[in-house]
């Protein structure tokens, strides 16, 4: 057992629906075990600047269902430097914080891991990113909500595509991961998806659009933002050139994918991760991320979680070809 007494909790990197549910779970679990907890606003920026407030049961009331993050979030250049980290550590000492819960994605965890190593302060990460790209957890907070937002948007685009007999190229987020694109592609019945994990995206697309007997009145092509050929507008240009017979339109879904009320799955996941993070710190764990594998909570070393991109089951691509 460890002897921590005050936890600092923060969100960092891109926001994800369900971050508030995770903050709430951390604060309430800390209270349950009679630990103090402070909220660090704006991630590492707030840590450096001492933007730190005590939190209690009431300060996390009525946030479980809200998108975004009440602690706000940022990406900090200064924290990447040793001086920035030293400033941050001095602030934590000043506020009596002796353990951290970092809610975010790979950038957040890279900083947290280094910081923990430098100052021997225990840190546990909670994976929260719509990209679902951390290794060692089946799901990250925010992915389920974002995926549902994407599918709903594609369904709506399908209505207009169908009415006009159009081909729509829809760009979705995911950074270097095709997770959102691939799963949304199956759920929304896309004719093809283009993802960073594949190197022959264009050949595959041309093959799909040229296939005889594939003459649907509307067509949906989902493009992951990180795939090699370029954004949806570049793909649109190529498609118009090679297939002038199609009435082609491009739609970039953008940041609306990150907003909105978290889904039930994300709220449950965030709540479980929040409890596990505080209990993990109490059990003396550090430099690990909470994860979920086959519905069971696990702790994954931070350096493994961020090391490689999460694996994508490419067999799912065949399902798109088979079913669309």
Question: Contact at 8 Å (CB) between 89 and 82?
Answer: no
The answer to whether 184 contacts ligand F6P (rule: CB under 6 A) is no
In the structure encoding, which two tokens stand for residue 287, read together?
Answer: 């430099």
96 to 8, 42, 219, 222: CA distances (angstroms): 9, 19, 58, 49
Q: Give the x/- contact pattern for ligand F6P in 218-237, rule: CB under 6 A.
A: -------x------------
State which residue, 138 or 162, has the beta carbon closest to ligand F6P. 138
Residue from the set 36, 45, 131, 197 that interacts with ligand F6P by CB under 6 A? 131
The answer to whether 141 contacts ligand F6P (rule: CB under 6 A) is no
- The active-site residue out of 106, 131, 133, 144 is 131
Give how many residues touch ligand F6P by CB under 6 A: 10
Is 131 part of the annotated catalytic residue set?
yes
Q: What's the chain's length in residues?
A: 324
Please give the torsion angle defined by the CA atoms of residues 178, 182, 185 and 188, in that order, rounded to the nearest 10 degrees.
Answer: -110
Q: Give the x/- contact pattern for ligand F6P in 22-51, rule: CB under 6 A.
A: ------------------------------
Question: Which of 21-29, 90-98, 157-165, 167-175 is the region at the interface with ligand F6P (rule: CB under 6 A)?
Answer: 167-175
Sign of CA dihedral 208, 210, 213, 216: positive
Question: Contact at 8 Å (CB) between 205 and 321?
Answer: no
Least spacing, CB of residue 178 vs ligand F6P, in Å:
11
Residue 279's H or E segment, with its range, is helix 264-282
The answer to whether 129 contacts ligand F6P (rule: CB under 6 A) is yes
State which residue, 45 or 225, has the beta carbon closest to ligand F6P. 225
State which residue, 74 or 186, has the beta carbon closest to ligand F6P. 74
Least spacing, CB of residue 245 vs ligand F6P, in Å:
33
In the structure encoding, which two tokens stand for residue 117, read together?
Answer: 């190593």
**From CA 66, how far away is CA 244, in angstroms rounded?**
44
The answer to whether 125 contacts ligand F6P (rule: CB under 6 A) is no
Q: How big is the CA angle at 66 (ends 64 and 70), to the nearest 5 degrees?
A: 90
Which residue do the tokens 């409890």 mark?
Answer: 275
Residues designated catalytic: 131
Q: Which residues bind ligand F6P (CB under 6 A)?
A: 14, 105, 129-131, 173-175, 225, 258
């Amino acid at each position: 057992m460890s002897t921590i007494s005050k936890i600092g909790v923060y969100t960092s990197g891109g926001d994800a629906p369900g971050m508030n549910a995770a903050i709430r779970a951390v604060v309430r679990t800390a209270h349950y075990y009679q630990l103090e907890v402070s909220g660090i606003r704006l991630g590492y920026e707030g840590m450096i600047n001492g933007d730190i407030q005590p939190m209690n049961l009431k300060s996390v009331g009525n946030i479980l269902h809200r998108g975004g993050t009440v602690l706000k979030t940022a990406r900090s250049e200064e924290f990447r430097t040793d001086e920035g980290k030293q400033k941050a550590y001095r602030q934590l000492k000043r506020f009596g914080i002796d353990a951290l819960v970092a809610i975010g994605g790979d950038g957040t965890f890279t900083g947290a891991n280094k910081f923990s190593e430098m100052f021997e302060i225990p840190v546990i990460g909670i994976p929260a990113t719509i990209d679902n790209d951390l290794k060692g957890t089946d799901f990250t907070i925010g992915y389920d909500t974002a995926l549902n937002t994407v599918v709903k948007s594609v369904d709506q685009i399908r209505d207009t595509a169908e009415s006009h007999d159009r081909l729509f190229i829809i760009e979705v987020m995911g950074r270097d991961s095709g997770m959102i694109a691939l799963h949304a592609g199956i759920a929304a019945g896309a004719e093809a998806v283009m993802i960073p994990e594949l190197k022959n995206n264009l050949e595959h697309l041309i093959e799909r659009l040229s296939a005889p007997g594939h003459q649907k009145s509307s067509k949906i092509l989902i493009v992951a933002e990180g795939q090699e050929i370029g954004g949806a507008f570049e793909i649109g240009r190529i498609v118009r050139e090679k297939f002038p017979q199609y009435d082609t339109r491009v739609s970039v879904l953008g940041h609306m994918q990150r907003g909105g009320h978290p889904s039930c799955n994300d709220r449950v996941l965030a709540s479980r991760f929040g409890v596990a993070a505080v209990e993990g710190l109490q059990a003396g764990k550090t430099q690990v991320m909470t994860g979920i594998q086959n519905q069971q909570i696990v702790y994954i070393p931070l350096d493994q979680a961020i090391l490689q991109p999460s694996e994508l089951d490419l067999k799912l691509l065949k399902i798109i070809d088979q079913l669309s």
